[in-house]
Amino acid sequence: MIRLTPDALFPESEIPVIRGDGRPIWHNPVGVHTRPTPLPDHQRWPGHCYKSPYPLSETYFLVAYSFDRLVGEPDPNPPNMFGLYLADRFGNKELLYRDLNISSLWPIPLAPRPKPPVLPPAAQVAGPREGTFFLQNVYRSWPQIPPGSVKRLRVVQVLPKSTWHINQPTVGLPNASPGRQVLGTVPVEADGSAFFRAPAGIALAFQALDEEGQAVQTMRSVTYLQPGENVSCVGCHEPRLAAPPPQPSPQALRREPSVIAPAPDGSKPFSYPLLVQPVLDKHCVRCHNPQKPEGNVVLTGQPQGRYTVSYNALAPRVPYSDWAGKPGDFRVVNSEPTTQPGFFGARASSLMQLLRKGHYDVKLDPEDKERLVTWMDTNALFYGTFDPADQARQQRGQRIAGPALE
């Protein structure tokens, strides 16, 4: 059994298995003893579905199972769809219990167990609401990142949704995208290590940045700190069953933890009109305006539909990640547990490629470039809140206090 998190994109339709190196496999799966073991049906949401597995051994587990198709929100699922089964890693199932009126979930075997110890709280009650993260080696990664290519980490806060229905309201063109805001960046040492302070109690994700500040690799799950907690990781998507490699004292631990360098204005709370539009007004609008729409592209900041004129023109040109891409569309790769570095964001953007080659007399200073790259690398969103009233303010270029939930 493996831990299932948002980065695995598990819609509770199949029980995955793991390879011998600990990585979850959905296509061409292999069993926990590395022997090839095809699943009876591949992941096919909405379809028959499993929920709440409880392992009994390396072969058997208890699980809730339904023959009914899993109905997506907002339509309800049948109240009695799940029954309890004994299942094995080969796809066999034996019904143990099913109630015709209500679903049966979360099977746990009844057995005498020793009373668990009561541990003292690890959270720091007094003092600042922050902790520290330590990354041993960013180059211990999957897929492999070339040594020496990562210079900084971008710290991104993933926002909880404060409205109940998917895409009501949207925060940008990417379908079903979570909200984000950028706290800033921290340095990565020459040996790949990083050590930094971060706020506690909020969901955080990290991006490994190259010398141009562009994301080489993006974390597709989240982590968090309790006040006073110290959290460490071996690498970025390192093999989960591998021990940390022996090495000299990491360079980042020979100093005090870094303080996050703030991102440009408009990154927190996230706001396309405050982050990106000033760059366009400074460098682009003189040639891309309604009176002079060079290349049939207008980059002004007037509201247009849900967003603005410039956002509607630029966002489709940024390779962003969203849910349920169509065959032949780059977004379909989002259905896989991992994507190749450089597939999304600024490194793959035609806009950045155009600016690198040179676009007439446009010369971006470092902050202007950071603004564009930050926007593209954080999935080309427009809003930094799910609150409709605050979204209306942001569309008009006004500032808001921050998202309703953090």
This prediction's pTM: 0.77
Looking at the domain assignment, is residue 39 inside a domain? yes
Q: Are residues 311 and 359 in the same domain?
A: yes
pLDDT over 70 at 38, yes or no: no
Give residue 370's pLDDT: 97
Looking at the domain assignment, is residue 136 inside a domain? yes
Q: Are residues 282 and 257 in the same domain?
A: no
- End position of a domain, from candidates 109, 141, 174: 109
Number of domains making up the chain: 3
Question: Residue 20's CB: how many other CB atoms inside 10 A?
Answer: 13
Q: Are residues 251 and 282 in the same domain?
A: no
At 271, the pLDDT band (50, 70, 90 cuts) reads very high
Question: Residue 143's CB: how many other CB atoms inside 10 A?
Answer: 11
Looking at the domain assignment, is residue 27 inside a domain? yes
Task: Please compute the mean of the pLDDT values over residues 253-262 and round it to a whole number.
Answer: 97
pLDDT of 174-227, one tens digit each?
988 889 999 999 999 999 999 999 999 999 999 999 999 999 999 988 999 999
Q: Report the C-alpha gap between 320 and 341 in whole angstroms.
A: 13
pLDDT of 313-360, one tens digit each?
999 989 888 765 444 444 444 444 556 777 789 998 988 888 888 888
Looking at the domain assignment, is residue 250 inside a domain? yes
Looking at the domain assignment, is residue 401 inside a domain? no
Beta partners for residue 307, in sequence order:
304
Give residue 34's pLDDT: 30
Q: Are residues 249 and 198 in the same domain?
A: yes
Q: Are residues 206 and 329 in the same domain?
A: no
pLDDT over 50 at 40, yes or no: no
Looking at the domain assignment, is residue 120 inside a domain? no
Q: Are residues 67 and 177 in the same domain?
A: no
Mean pLDDT of the chain: 84
Which CATH number covers residue 237?
A: 2.60.40
CA atoms within 13 A on the CB side of 110: 0
Q: Are residues 71 and 165 in the same domain?
A: no
pLDDT over 80 at 299, yes or no: yes
Task: Please compute the mean of the pLDDT values over residues 289-295 and round it to a whole number.
Answer: 90
Q: Report the C-alpha gap between 77 and 403 in whole angstroms.
A: 31
Give residue 107's pLDDT: 95
Are 137 and 250 spatial neighbours (Cβ–Cβ below 8 Å)? yes
At 16, the pLDDT band (50, 70, 90 cuts) reads low
Q: Are residues 137 and 248 in the same domain?
A: yes
- End position of a domain, from candidates 228, 262, 296: 262
Are 337 and 7 spatial neighbours (Cβ–Cβ below 8 Å)? yes
Looking at the domain assignment, is residue 117 inside a domain? no
Q: Is 88 exposed, middle or buried (0-12, 13-18, 19+ CB in 10 A)?
A: middle
Q: Are residues 309 and 352 in the same domain?
A: yes
Q: Is 299 exposed, middle or buried (0-12, 13-18, 19+ CB in 10 A)?
A: buried
pLDDT over 80 at 123, yes or no: no
The whole domain housing 25 covers: 1-109
pLDDT over 70 at 134, yes or no: yes
Upstream peptide bond of 169 is cis (omega within 30 degrees of 0): yes
State how far Cα 259 lies from the chain centre. 23
Q: Are residues 151 and 197 in the same domain?
A: yes
Looking at the domain assignment, is residue 121 inside a domain? no
Give residue 20's pLDDT: 47
Q: Are residues 357 and 245 in the same domain?
A: no
- End position of a domain, from candidates 207, 236, 262: 262
Q: Report the C-alpha gap between 314 and 376 in whole angstroms.
A: 10
* Residue of 210, 236, 223 lying closest to 157 (CA atoms): 223
Q: Are residues 192 and 90 in the same domain?
A: no
